[in-house]
Structure 1
Amino acid sequence: MSWLVVFYLILGLYIFYILWLTFGLPKLKSTDFKLSNQPETKFSVVISMRNEAENLPALFQSVSDLSYPKNLFEIILIDDDSQDESWKLARAFQAHYSDIKIYLLSISEEKYTPKKNAIYTAIRKSTYPYILTTDADVILPENWLKSFDAKLQSTGADLLAGGVIVAKNSSFLSHYQHFDMLSLQLFGLASFARNQPVICNGANLCYKKQAYLDAEVNYGKEDIASGDDVFTLQKFKQLGYEIDFLSDAQSVVWTRALESFEGLWHQRRRWASKTASVESWYMKSVGVLVTLMQLVLVLGLILGFWESTFFGFLINAFLLKFIIDGWSLTRMAKIQNLGFCWTDFFKVSLVYPFFTLFFSLTSFYGKFEWKGRRFKK
């Protein structure tokens, strides 16, 4: 079997998988719902922060704009040894919005790595039955809590995973992150629809407090820097808890793009530290398939200088992948009421194999930095 046949086989498997994912999305239509005029779910919103002074004003404004009865939620801000004015801004926010239950905490647990310690500490101090975690660099939509309440009233789920969108700006790197996150959401949402839930995002994740405490989601994962979200999902799944994905566009939170390639690289290395510990052959198989797809595109370019048939493969594979990927992402964007620019997507597609392959091949080794700290793999 020639290498060209192998390349086309990988392309065929990749296209089949993307189509399988995308055609699974309509299965979610049966879970459509309307916002309730009588919210009833009580939420403890947990937000960990470390050196987030630049992002906190926008977050706090979005919190104050939440359209939800103030007696049904509390905000727990937990500081992870910030070295900037994050604590000062949080105190000012607490003082200014006295009608909102806002609690400021510092990490008191030393059981896990810092992010896990922050969340665990906050959850133990929370008073409401449902935990909703998010990050300090996001902007929350007005009906965020209403969307989760409506879904919980209709399903009674033990865990609900919500969407996260990276906001585009003028930089090319932000465009890459926007489409990359959109593809991750396609993978996550469609995998839920196909009864194969494997990933979620802690920037928009809701679960029952008691279920979290009973599950001991970080047991055996204490030294892994990331994974507070995926490990929770996996443990809930193992224990047979009811889990679901909230696809409602009004529940999606927005986050800022990282500004440097180095910062993005360290983020991917941090994500890889948890991915390697997830016990899911489905997730690992998809990761291998996606990496191989990027690899054959890059090899097609290189080998094309020696044999022109590989250039032919590269052109065919790139165009087919671009059309199928773009079509599937437009379906995902429509679910979340997002616009989709084919021109921006084409530009990102030209470098996507190189970026993604680089992150895949370098993310499982060495150390990485996060929030001014260094972690080992």
Structure 2
Amino acid sequence: MIYIFCTFIAFLYFLQIYFYNKYFKKILTFEKKFFFNKKVFISILVAVRNEEKNIFHLLNSIFKQNFPKKNFELILVDDFSEDKTSEIIEKFIEKTDNFLLLKLKNKSKNGKKYALKKAIKKSKGNLIITTDADCIMGKNWLITIASYYEKFRPKMIVAPVLLKGEKTLFQKMQSLEFLSLIASSAGAIGMKKAIMCNGANLIYEKKIINDDFFFEKSVSGDDIFLMLNLKKKYKNQIHFLKSKDAIVFTKSQKTFSDFIEQRKRWTSKSKFYKDFDIIYVSILIFLKNFLLFFNFILSFFEKKYFFLFLILFFTKSLIDFIFLKRTSKFFEKEFEKRIFLILQFVYPFYIVFVAIYGNFASFIWKKRKINNN
């Protein structure tokens, strides 16, 4: 019975990643043909907290955009920073006419969601873009997004986010895993079964948003719950912007503990999911990795479990290799076989731990201890 179940899960996983790979390939690359006709006004929204080391680079990236300044605004909302974040912003915006800093007056456990809602109410744009304070982007980022929106008019655009500046083995492993999430997100959107997005590069029409879309019960997940709510009504109007010019770059986590805290935060919102597609994929990935973990441990006691482990490991590694090699090539990320192989061994242990622990434990975010239960 265990053989049949393991083989069945291996087959389902292989099929899932095969289709992600297929539909990622089918998404047309948006070339450098700018269609922007200056009818769209864009509001870029950023919730900030304790970002004194990063915020200048974001401000500078947006300031240098190859885009008419009269057609966009940047609204930053400070969520009770305890460092010099606000001072740096205030000094920078003295030389701009379209950058604005707001400060929250009331503390809330849903700090980021509260900040974004405040920014949306203040915004003048008909198109909203959210990003994060620790991000940077190329000079054609805005013009690419605006041109894509002008041409296709989707309700939501999910754009790529990648890690940058990887030097250590740990950082390279994070980068490859992060790429797998972005690529899977793209493939799922190509299938019209959106399951993931990243608020560091998320675009949507202001007119379709209401307060309920942010789902207040979960502290994290301002991006995913917004997308899942839009999916109910606009399933076919959620697009992935497949363009190198649209990429936003962010940093990897410096330490293993920071990485685990981030993943706990991401996992904590899973208990609130009601969408079939995301529940199915989440369970499938957990089962696949749990069975790898389970059979690996039992293989020390009985040889038959080692055979099952090999079946699960090689089917997963084969399809993951094909998928990640293709997506790495598109995004011009170096694909190191050594990093891939190490990640394949480590991933099942990490997934099982985070999936279980993240649903019950509190997490630390920007020096705040948060309980999402």
TM-score (norm 1): 0.92
Tell me, in whole angstroms, the C-alpha distance in 2 between the residues paired with 1:359 and 1:168: 25
Return 235-244 or 293-302, whichever deviates more. Answer: 235-244
Tell me, in whole angstroms, the C-alpha distance in 1 between the residues paired with 2:184 and 2:307: 29
1:27 Cα shift? 2.7
Partner secondary structure for residue 204 of structure 2: strand
Q: What does the per-residue CA deviation read over 1:148-194, in whole Å, with 9 as the maximum and x for residues that have no partner? A: 11111111112111111122522333223212211111221111111
Q: What corresponds to 1:236 in structure 2? A: 230
Q: Say which of 139, 144, 148 aligns to 1:142.
A: 139
Q: Could you tell me whether the CA contact under 8 Å between 2:108 and 2:114 is conserved in 1?
A: yes
Say whether residues 1:14 and 2:9 are aligned partners. Answer: no
Q: Could you tell me whether the CA contact under 8 Å between 1:112 and 1:223 is conserved in 2?
A: no
Tell me, in whole angstroms, the C-alpha distance in 1 between the residues paired with 2:279 and 2:251: 28
Q: Say which of 226, 237, 242 aligns to 2:220.
A: 226
For the structure 1 residues 60 and 240, does the alpha-carbon distance in structure 2 shift closer, same or farther, using more than 3 Å as the test? closer
Partner secondary structure for residue 209 of structure 2: helix
Partner secondary structure for residue 216 of structure 1: helix
1:57 Cα shift? 2.5
Return 235-244 or 116-125, whichever deviates more. Answer: 235-244
Q: Could you tell me whether the CA contact under 8 Å between 1:35 and 1:146 is conserved in 2?
A: no
Q: What corresponds to 1:202 in structure 2? A: 199
Q: What corresponds to 1:293 in structure 2? A: 288
Query: What pairs up with 1:1-377 in 2 under 5 angstroms?
Result: 1=1, 3-29=2-28, 32-36=30-34, 38-40=36-38, 41-95=40-94, 97-98=95-96, 100-108=97-105, 113-213=110-210, 216-218=212-214, 221-240=215-234, 242-377=237-372
Tell me the matched-pair count. Answer: 370
Q: Could you tell me whether the CA contact under 8 Å between 2:7 and 2:311 is conserved in 1?
A: no
Structure 1: which 5+ runs fail to align? none
Tell me, in whole angstroms, the C-alpha distance in 2 between the residues paired with 1:335 and 1:107: 40
Tell me, in whole angstroms, the C-alpha distance in 1 between the residues paired with 2:53 and 2:108: 29
1:111 Cα shift? 7.7
**Partner letter of residue 167 of structure 1?**
K
Identity %, equivalent residues: 28
TM-score (norm 2): 0.93
Tell me, in whole angstroms, the C-alpha distance in 2 between the residues paired with 1:11 and 1:235: 31
Q: What does the per-residue CA deviation read over 1:265-318, in whole Å, with 9 as the maximum and x for residues that have no partner? A: 221222123222122122111111111111121222211112223223333432
Q: What does the per-residue CA deviation read over 1:131-158, in whole Å, with 9 as the maximum and x for residues that have no partner? A: 1000001111221111111111111112
**Partner letter of residue 173 of structure 1?**
F
Q: What does the per-residue CA deviation read over 1:28-82, in whole Å, with 9 as the maximum and x for residues that have no partner? A: 12x7454316452321111111001111122222222211111111111110000
Q: Could you tell me whether the CA contact under 8 Å between 1:4 and 1:310 is conserved in 2?
A: no
For the structure 1 residues 348 and 122, does the alpha-carbon distance in structure 2 shift closer, same or farther, using more than 3 Å as the test? same
Q: Could you tell me whether the CA contact under 8 Å between 2:155 and 2:234 is conserved in 1?
A: no
**Partner letter of residue 87 of structure 1?**
S
Q: Could you tell me whether the CA contact under 8 Å between 2:35 and 2:150 is conserved in 1?
A: no
Tell me, in whole angstroms, the C-alpha distance in 2 between the residues paired with 1:127 and 1:368: 35
**Partner letter of residue 339 of structure 1?**
E
Structure 2: which 5+ runs fail to align? none
Return 61-70 or 202-211, whichever deviates more. Answer: 61-70
Tell me, in whole angstroms, the C-alpha distance in 2 between the residues paired with 1:39 and 1:163: 24
Partner secondary structure for residue 196 of structure 2: coil
For the structure 1 residues 280 and 38, does the alpha-carbon distance in structure 2 shift closer, same or farther, using more than 3 Å as the test? closer
Q: Could you tell me whether the CA contact under 8 Å between 1:166 and 1:254 is conserved in 2?
A: yes
**Partner letter of residue 240 of structure 1?**
Y
Partner secondary structure for residue 350 of structure 1: helix
RMSD of Structure 2 on Structure 1 (CA): 2.0
Tell me, in whole angstroms, the C-alpha distance in 2 between the residues paired with 1:69 and 1:92: 22
Tell me, in whole angstroms, the C-alpha distance in 2 between the residues paired with 1:312 and 1:223: 44
Partner secondary structure for residue 310 of structure 2: helix
